[in-house]
Structure 1
Amino acid sequence: MAKIKDVAKYVKSKNAGPFWTTLEIYCETFEDYRIISQSKHLTKETVARLYDTDAEAVKMFYLENLKVVKISYPRKKPQGHKYERDMHSGQQYVLIANVEI
């Protein structure tokens, strides 16, 4: 079965302030966007499980005109915490990129 990384043009993650991380899934075509945005596997519950957070806190935005799915979730540890291991959240995209669609 195909994964998000196989369909999306780019999958990125970034810091969204000291307490949040944002994931962005960019698609090249509207068909790719439709496939990803309508996937039954891309849910708040999936994000919560992958990033060990509460599903009710996960925010998902579907930006059809831009062909982007944007997901934000609270960080487990604030940016700069002594046990926080990805200061800029730049490596967090890997988990979502490997979700089957």
Structure 2
Amino acid sequence: MIRLQDVASVLRSKNAGAFVLTIDIIFKEKVDYEKIVVGGLLQPHQIAAAYHVRSSDVLITPYPEVLSLKVTMPRHIGSGDLSDSDVYGAQQHVPLMLLDLPDAVA
């Protein structure tokens, strides 16, 4: 198993509006990007399980030119709500950072 934190140079989250969260994953090496993205190791259902959202609500957008992915999904609580503990969505990347993925390379 591998974790995204081991192959990504940047994992950051932020709001993409009051009700949407986006997570940027920027890979250190092209081989890691290709292993994860082209190899299909990161899928919406895995992210949905980690964040307790429907997999149909998870959008993964690849940016091969810059070896990155953008993951977009709904926030559970709108930004600025009285019960919101992370108004900027800046600490929401951790479940994705710790996500175990199968290591396709033996």
Q: Same fold (TM over 0.5)?
A: yes
* Bigger strand fraction: 2
Shifted more, 66-75 versus 26-35: the winner is 26-35
Contact 2:50–2:99, Cα closer than 8 Å, also in 1: no
SS in 2 for 1:46: helix
Figure out how many residues of one structure are paired with residues of the other and give that number: 100
Question: Deviation per CA, 1:25-79, whole angstroms, max 9, x where unpaired?
Answer: 1012211111221343x21111111111111111110111110011000001111
The match for 1:92 is 92
The 2-side partners of 1:81 and 1:14 are apart by 16
- TM-score normalized by structure 1? 0.91
Task: Note the residue ranges of structure 2 that are not aligned, 5 or more in a row.
Answer: 102-106
Alignment of 1:17-56 (within 5 A): 17-37=17-37, 38-40=39-41, 42-56=42-56
Q: CA RMSD in A?
A: 1.1
Structure 1 runs of 4+ off > 3 angstroms?
Answer: none
The match for 2:71 is 71
- TM-score normalized by structure 2? 0.87
Task: Note the residue ranges of structure 1 that are not aligned, 5 or more in a row.
Answer: none
Percent sequence identity over aligned pairs: 27
Shifted more, 26-35 versus 14-23: the winner is 26-35
Q: Return the offset for 1:83.
A: 1.2
